[in-house]
Amino acid sequence: MVAPNALVGKVNEILVQAIGEPLRYLVNWGRLYSLWPVHVETACCSIEFGATHGPRFDPERFGLLEAFGSLRQCDLLIVFGTVTRKFAPRLKMIYDQMPEPKWVIAMGACAITGGLYFDSYNVLPGIDDLMPVDVYIPGCPPRPESVLQALIMLQEKIRKSKLR
Ligand code: SF4
């Protein structure tokens, strides 16, 4: 005779095997086509990011929503521009307020390495000192096409991610 706990465990295992993969696909599909971003803009890359959001490039057709609302609704942090050491704790605070799962894009040389100010005493040599970065967009500034490419790369990453 099988113990009730062992039976429940076996049923759970069968259920996870049966619906785990379709469920993972469905949840990831929903997430990757409804990315809700918060932008942290400190310098000139924001001009190109603004151009990306115009009708010519239209990132909403890929599922990147308009940036508004509360940080607690956002799941994508996009950082562009120089991040000073004074500002770094505020940036970390923004990241910490976002719920899991969340993703980060570093746009432009300044956000990736400190850019022109890489050896300055008061500039962070890249935001990955503060938080995990999922996609980097190199350039000074990167063009809108690069932003769209980064978005598609991030979506591929989300599509393959495991449910936590
Ligand atoms: S990477 Fe270049 S364009 Fe972007 S914020 Fe830095 S200096 Fe400006």
Nearest CA to ligand 1 atom 5: 81
Task: Decide whether any atom of ligand 1 lies within 6 Å of the 109 Cβ.
Answer: yes
CA of 53 to the centre of ligand 1 (A): 18
pLDDT digits (tens), the chain, 164 positions: 567 778 888 887 787 777 888 888 899 999 999 899 999 988 899 899 889 988 999 988 988 888 777 888 899 999 999 999 999 999 999 999 999 999 999 999 999 999 999 899 999 999 999 999 999 999 999 999 999 999 999 999 999 888 76
Q: Could you tell which of 52, 140, 146, 147 is best to mutate to test the pocket of ligand 1, judged by most ligand atoms within 8 Å of the CB?
A: 140
d(CA 144, CA 58): 10
Task: Decide whether any atom of ligand 1 lies within 6 Å of the 144 Cβ.
Answer: no
Give the domain ranges of the chain. Answer: 8-160
The architecture in CATH of the region 8-160 reads 3-Layer(aba) Sandwich (3.40)
With contact defined as beta carbons under 8 Å apart, do 103 and 127 qualify? no
d(CA 33, CA 60): 9
